[in-house]
A and B are shown apart, each in its own frame.
Chain A
Amino acid sequence: QQQVKQSPQSLIVQKGGISIINCAYENTAFDYFPWYQQFPGKGPALLIAIRPDVSEKKEGRFTISFNKSAKQFSLHIMDSQPGDSATYFCAASIMGNTPLVFGKGTRLSVIA
């Protein structure tokens, strides 16, 4: 049972464009939704996270949009740069209680 479904599997975006990655979850008890960024040969690192009491969170060029009724959340990367090329993972958990459940990842390539 895949609790967090992530799409697309891969994404190619032109430099300066908007990258959008989507995730859907099953468990309505989830209350913590982070996004992780992973560069080749490195461990994943937290990029941005949101809790369900807000519908959007923005940090620089990165924005999470959250739709509780649809059980979906997405990552938007504005003005995408070649340095953003990485694999992105969404995840979900019940705060303080359960380990993170990860989506399968999206490989983003930003081309000049």
Chain B
Amino acid sequence: DAGITQSPRHKVTETGTPVTLRCHQTENHRYMYWYRQDPGHGLRLIHYSYGVKDTDKGEVSDGYSVSRSKTEDFLLTLESATSSQTSVYFCAIRPGQGRETQYFGPGTRLLVL
């Protein structure tokens, strides 16, 4: 998994509660990404980061926020979880500097009741 861990791996929560997912890398890569994967939709980009404190929105950013205060950690927060945010969330990293390959973490399965 290219030195990427995601926590928690599974979570069940209730509608309206805040949820934070963590992505941790040991590779010191510059770029980090959060995707969600849903049947029929493939992988959709939520937010991404191109450095500490540098983040940008992806295709499906509404209802999500991110923070990156250290190179190794990229946090995804659902401010007030909704059932439509039930999904599998993947973090990915990319070295940059001409190296394009994205490496994905093992995923977090989130169920919002």
Contacts and interface: CB of A to CB of B under 8 A. Distances in A.
Interface of A: 6, 32, 34, 36, 41-46, 49, 89, 93, 95-96, 99-105
Contact of B42 (A42, A43, A96, A105): A105
Contacts of A6: 42
Given A43-B1, A44-B90, A102 B100 contact: no
B95 to A, nearest CB: 11
B88 to A, nearest CB: 9
Interface of B: 1, 33, 35, 40-45, 48, 58, 90, 92, 96, 98, 100-107
A102 B35 CA distance: 10
B43 A32 contact: no
Contact of B105 (A32, A43, A93, A100): A43
13 contacts: A34-B100, A34-B101, A34-B102, A41-B107, A43-B90, A43-B104, A44-B90, A46-B102, A46-B103, A95-B98, A99-B48, A100-B45, A104-B41
B42 A89 contact: yes
Contacts of A101: 45
Contacts, number: 51
A44 B101 CA distance: 11
B43 A89 contact: yes
Contacts of A45: 103-104
A13 B83 CA distance: 36
Given A41-B107, A43-B104, A105-B42, 17 more contacts: A32-B100, A34-B101, A36-B104, A42-B106, A43-B105, A45-B104, A89-B42, A93-B100, A96-B98, A99-B45, A99-B48, A101-B45, A102-B43, A102-B44, A104-B40, A104-B42, A105-B43
